[in-house]
Amino acid sequence: MIKGLAIMRRRKVVVRKEEPPRKTTTNSSLTITSVRYGECQRNHAASIGGYVVDGCREFMASGEEGTSGALACAACGCHRNFHRREVETEVVSECSSPNNSSSRA
């Protein structure tokens, strides 16, 4: 390890979404996709060959949806693209119980 540089560790984070989930229905299943923006990954020392992040833990929009402020973080000032994008997809399917179909008189 070079003195002054930090080691970046990867981890999987499962959290709730800020925006309402998008729902898609198919024959007998429902797919819910949630997107959330986590910690900021902007390297503030890239120009000098280092690695330094600001410590912002979660994207918070500084403006209303549809404005330019919606893409800027209120905590660190970075664009939303610098924050880790976390996508969670949940598929819910309807199925009948095996007891219902086999219990005929």
Residue 104, pLDDT score: 53
Percent of the chain with pLDDT over 70: 62
Across the chain, mean pLDDT equals 78
Which residues, in sequence order, are CB contacts of 101 under 8 Å at separation 6+?
none
Integer angstrom CA distances of residue 80 from 22, 35, 85: 19, 12, 9
